[in-house]
């Protein structure tokens, strides 16, 4: 099993969520986060003054999937979150040793 963490633009959340759900990936955790990548932030103007916003609003989606589904999930997220501009986000794939469903005690892939 693998945990997929995708940090994407907030305006792409609903599109990505819908695409994942349509492909059978219903369980996920979504967190509002702030961050920056290699672009280091953006320069904004407000009332004639410039200021740098170095931590931008993002959304983090977390899912745990079977090993066989990792590439499919990555493809779905990339297709639906991509704008082609800097700041589209990143996807991290992390090994998961075990999963336990609290309600039933099921473990492993059965708990997904």
* pLDDT digits 0-9 by tens, 52-78: 778 889 999 999 999 999 999 999 999
Q: What's the mean pLDDT in 23-37?
A: 94
- The pLDDT of residue 36 is above 90: no
User: What is the pLDDT at residue 42?
Assistant: 72
User: What is the pLDDT at residue 43?
Assistant: 76
Mean pLDDT of the chain: 93
* 6: Cα separation from own chain's centroid: 2
Question: For the sheet containing 2-8, what is the strand order?
Answer: 29-35, 56-65, 2-8, 89-95
Residue of 62 and 44 predicted with greater confidence: 62
Model pTM? 0.86
Q: Of the ranges 19-23, 34-38, 60-64, 71-75, which one carries the lowest mean pLDDT score?
A: 34-38
Give the number of other CB atoms < 10 A from CB of residue 10.
12
DSSP 39: T
User: What is the pLDDT at residue 29?
Assistant: 98
- Helix pair angle (70-81, 13-22), 10° resolution: 140
Determine the straight-line distance between the first and last CA of the chain, rounded to whole angstroms: 9
* Structural domains for the chain: 2-111 (3.30.70.120)
């Amino acid at each position: 099993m693998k945990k997929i963490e995708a940090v994407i633009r907030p305006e792409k959340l609903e599109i990505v969520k819908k695409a994942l759900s349509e492909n059978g990936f219903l369980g996920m955790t979504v967190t509002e986060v702030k961050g920056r990548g290699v672009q280091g932030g953006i320069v904004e103007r407000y009332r004639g003054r410039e200021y740098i916003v170095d931590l931008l609003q993002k959304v983090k989606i977390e899912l745990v999937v079977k090993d066989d589904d990792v590439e499919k999930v990555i493809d779905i997220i990339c297709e639906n979150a991509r704008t082609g501009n800097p700041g589209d986000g990143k996807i991290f794939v992390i090994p998961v040793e075990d999963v336990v469903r609290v309600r039933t005690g099921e473990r492993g892939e059965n708990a997904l």
